[in-house]
Structure 1
């Protein structure tokens, strides 16, 4: 059957639950690769905020008469 690889998967919920509950790390760092995901999110958030502040600064400053 074509879909058997998707349908007949072992249930790993209890293993994951024990792994997460046994960890002493903060909740947002408990899963694998969460540090990578958070660093990408923080980077994108920082770039977005800096872009907004830079654009607002340019709008407030306006163009000079010589340009």
Structure 2
């Protein structure tokens, strides 16, 4: 079936990828080039969420000013 040939007859790149990962001394979650982007985006979203949560908690604790 020629339509499935790109899926079936793919080159085996396991050894090449294994050498790439084992040669690096970075943490495992930062070894690939794209993972650095994903981790930074995650950190930015986490920081924004924590700041929003802290602001909301502060607003609830502070309360509304009393009407006189």
The count of corresponding residues between Structure 1 and Structure 2 is: 66
Moved more, 30-39 or 47-56: 30-39
Higher helix share: 2
Q: CA deviation at 1:60?
A: 1.2
Q: CA deviation at 1:4?
A: 2.6
Give unmatched runs, 5+ long, in structure 1.
none
Mapped partners of 2:16, 2:47: distance in 1: 35
The answer on 1:5 being equivalent to 2:3 is no
Mapped partners of 2:63, 2:8: distance in 1: 60
Normalising by structure 1, report the TM-score: 0.80
Give unmatched runs, 5+ long, in structure 2.
none
Partner of 2:17: 16
Q: CA deviation at 1:17?
A: 0.6
Partner of 1:41: 42
Partner of 1:25: 26
Once superposed, which parts of structure 1, at least 4 consecutive aligned residues long, lie more than 3 Å away?
none
Q: CA deviation at 1:3?
A: 2.9
